[in-house]
C-alpha cells in the first residue's frame, strides 16, 4: 500500500464524509473505491476486436497466406 496526503476543500470533504457514512466505511475507503471504479471504467476488460472473432465463414487459408493483399491491396 502507498500512503499519500490529499488536500480537500471543505465541500469535497463533506461530500466524501457523507458517502462514507452512507456506506458505513471510512473516508479513505471511499476514495479508494472511487479510484477503483474509475480505473475499471477506463480500462477495457478485453480487446474490443474480440467481438468480431469468428464472424466470417471459410477455412481462412488464403486470407492467412495473403493477408497483406486483403488488408492493404498489395
Question: Measured between alpha carbons, how far is 30 from 50 in angstroms, rounded to an integer?
Answer: 34
Angle between helix 10-23 and helix 27-41 axes, rounded to 10 deg = 90
- pLDDT value of residue 20: 97
Q: What is the pLDDT of residues 17-69, one digit of tens each?
A: 999 999 999 999 999 999 998 888 766 667 777 777 777 776 666 666 777 77
DSSP E strands, 1-74 = none
Amino acid at each position: 500500500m502507498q500512503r499519500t496526503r490529499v488536500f480537500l476543500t471543505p465541500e469535497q470533504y463533506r461530500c466524501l464524509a457523507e458517502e462514507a457514512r452512507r456506506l458505513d466505511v471510512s473516508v479513505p475507503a471511499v476514495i479508494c473505491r472511487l479510484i477503483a471504479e474509475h480505473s475499471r471504467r477506463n480500462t477495457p476488460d478485453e480487446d474490443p476486436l474480440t467481438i468480431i472473432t469468428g464472424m466470417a465463414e471459410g477455412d481462412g487459408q488464403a486470407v492467412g497466406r495473403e493477408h497483406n493483399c486483403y488488408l492493404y491491396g498489395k
